[in-house]
Amino acid sequence: MPIRIKDGLPAAEILGNENIFVMLESRATKQEIRPLQLVILNLMPKKIETENQILRLLSNTPLQVNVEFLRIDYRASKNTPQEHIDKFYHDFERIRHNNYDGLIITGAPLGLVGHDDVVYWPQIEEIINWSKTHVVSTLFLCWAAQAALKILHGVDKKVHETKFSGVYPQQTFHRHNPLVRGFDDEFPVPMSRYANFSAAMFAGTDLDILAANDETGVYLAASKDCRQVFVTGHPEYSADTLHQEYMRDITDGVEAAVPANYYKGNNAENAPLVTWRSHGNLLYSNWLNYYVYQQTPYDLNDL
C-alpha cells in the first residue's frame, strides 16, 4: 500500500526516485476503493494443493481480493474430487462477458507435450486472447507462461534434454520496474520444467526481462503496459512440493536427478531447505499492488 503524504513534501520526489510508492494527499482524498476481482484458471492436477499455494501468497497483502476459480473443460479429474470442482469452479462460458482486475493461469504437467498436441490448446488460446480485453493484468505461471509466450508473442519453447528441477538463483534486472521492487540482486526460485527460454528468444518482443539465470534462462518477464507477466518457475511451491515430484518420478521408474539446491546439504535424506518464500510473497504483493490495483479503473466496465 502507498504512503500518504502532504502535497509538496520533498520526500515525494526523493522516495519516488527510489521506486517507493507514495500518494499525495490531493490524490488520496479522491481515491475510491473496492475489492479486487481475480479469477484463477487452475490447470494443475492436484487442484486443492495449488489453490492453497496461490491463495497463501495472495493473502499476504492488505488489499481485499475476491477470488473465483475457472476450469478448462469437463473432463473428470483424477486427483481432485468432482464435487469440489462442481462446487467451486466456473466454466468459461459463465464468465466470458465479465471483466476482472487480475487473472492467474497456473502451470500444467505438459512439459514434454507439443502445443499442438495439448487437448485443450484451443480453449487456452481463447482464454488468453480474451484476457487482452477483459483483464487488467494476467499472471502466467510456468507452463501457462510457455503457452502465452507462444500465443501472444510467437516465442516457442526450447525443450531441454534434462529437467530443470530444484531451486535456482535468479539475477534481478530493470530495478526501476515496480514488479521487482524490493528484490535482492539475486534470489532463489523453485523450477520444475524442461523448457528453456534464453534472453535472445525475447529479442523480437516488447517484453522486459526482469530476472534470469544463465543455466535455466529467463524467469520473469513483463509487458511494458503491465498487462502480461510471465513467470517460468514456481514461487508458490510449498516446502515439500519438489520432494513429492522427485519421489513420484522415482516411484514411476523415471531417471531423475536430485533437485538442485533444495535439500539441506544437497542430500535427499535431509529435509528441504526453504529459501524462496520471501521472494514469492513479494512478487505476488508487487503484482497485486502495482500491476493490478494501481492500474485498474474503479468501474471494471470502463476496462
Per the annotation, binding residues for substrate are 163, 192, 248
Contacts of 199 (CB under 8 A, 6+ apart): 209, 212, 217, 218
Spot the catalytic one: 153, 226, 236, 279.
236
Spot the catalytic one: 134, 153, 234, 279.
234
Which cell numbers hold the place of 293? 490495483
142 is catalytic: yes
236 is catalytic: yes
Annotated binding site: 163, 192, 248
Spot the catalytic one: 142, 153, 226, 279.
142
Which cell numbers hold the place of 23? 500518494
Active-site residue set: 142, 234, 236
